[in-house]
Amino acid sequence: MAGDILTSDPITISQIEAIARQKLSDNVYNYYSCGADDQTTLERNQADFDRWGFSISIVSKIRPLIILVLPRVLRDVSQVDTSTELFGYRFPFPVGVAPSAMQRLASPEGELDVARAAASMGINLTLSSNSTTSLEDVMSARHQIGKETAAPFWFQIYLASDLDLSVPLIKRAEEAGYEALVLTVDTPVLGNRINERQTPLILPEGLHLANIQKNGAKGSRKPSFNREIMDARTAKQANDLMQAAGSTANSASLTWSSTIKFLRQTTDMKIILKGIMAPEDAQLAVECGTDAIIVSNHGGRQLDGVPSTIQALPGIVDVAKGKIPIILDGGIRRGSDVFKALALGADFVLVGRPALWGLAFNGREGVEAVMNILERELSRTMALAGTAKVGDICSAFLRYTEGGRLSKI
């Protein structure tokens, strides 16, 4: 059976993940795939595209409701246009690649192959600061495909406790041509990632975090301070590790009043906040003048037991729609998931793990296969739902069931 999977021509993302699971070592697959604690948020991210948990009243329990696409017929869908515009660029479809660390663990070319796939297809890529390829080399790969025609790339960053230590990396990204800085805001400390604690992932010989370590630097093959702090068993041990990490650890003191101001003073790149889950924070992001927000729970890898991203989306749309772009990251596995996210008010979505499965499956061609699957599924969903262009997609095409009856969103 395993041989059949490995030699098959996959036509769904779940099939590509099955192949990636066969190819990757257990510790690498678990690092990419697992979430925090009991992984309830990780599971909810995908499951809630089919069902939501709605709070029916203040005193009632949250109970699942099935969310469905309600198709309309006798509408001209002979020419379906999946393209959309974001920050002045016309993307062929509203899906980009989310930042994920250490992609050369999935294939030898890693981030380079993802960049080549994104550039060739005209889609957006956000590069993780914890990449195993330098940000300059990734941008060079984009330029080799077509500097003028490739979509904009963005750069993700964690700010250090000493903000000045992050300035050189921000400047490098700006000088290399990245058009937006994606600040991850949900990681003052790492979540309780059980699999990483039981089997710490250490980069093999020849790989390093190319943006923040020198190749062959002493200590480059050890777990980071942030991961050592995650595994601390006592308050004293955690405190000692934090003292040793000093100004290089992820900052736990970022604030609305100072952080956006610091970034605006440091760079002319667009500022995007990744990790927004509360409507109140979406409102603050608007007030602080950020350029966009990414609704994300870090793929279920930070605080377990929080809402899924699709569940959090409507409340954020209520306060931010039309003011700044709203991007959703988490749980997208089908084109119909993209449709539902757009119908609920997202302007764009990102996929992380699916791109990694494609990379492990077949390098650049595997990443392209994943994105082509999502585009074809989205186009087909749009045609069958009766929407000829992305701008037509709205909540009128969704229903949820409660007590066997269909109700409007």
Nearest CA-CA partner of 202 in 222, 217, 218 = 222
Which of 104, 298, 340, 364 does the annotation list as catalytic?
298
- 298 in a known ligand binding site: yes
Phi then psi for residue 67, to 5 deg, are -100, 130
- 264 in a known ligand binding site: no
- 353 in a known ligand binding site: yes
- 193 in a known ligand binding site: yes
Phi then psi for residue 238, to 5 deg, are -60, -45
- 332 in a known ligand binding site: yes
- 330 in a known ligand binding site: yes
Q: Residue 143 catalytic?
A: no
- 158 in a known ligand binding site: yes
- 197 in a known ligand binding site: no
- 352 in a known ligand binding site: yes
- 101 in a known ligand binding site: yes
- 274 in a known ligand binding site: yes
- 333 in a known ligand binding site: yes
Nearest CA-CA partner of 101 in 212, 251, 249 = 212
- 132 in a known ligand binding site: no
- 116 in a known ligand binding site: no
- 301 in a known ligand binding site: yes
Residue numbers in the known binding site are: 31, 99-101, 128, 156, 158, 184, 193, 274, 296, 298, 301, 329-333, 352-353
Which residues form the catalytic set? 298
Which residues are part of a known binding site for FMN? 99-101, 128, 156, 158, 184, 274, 296, 329-333, 352-353
- Which residue positions form the known binding site for glyoxylate? 31, 193, 298, 301
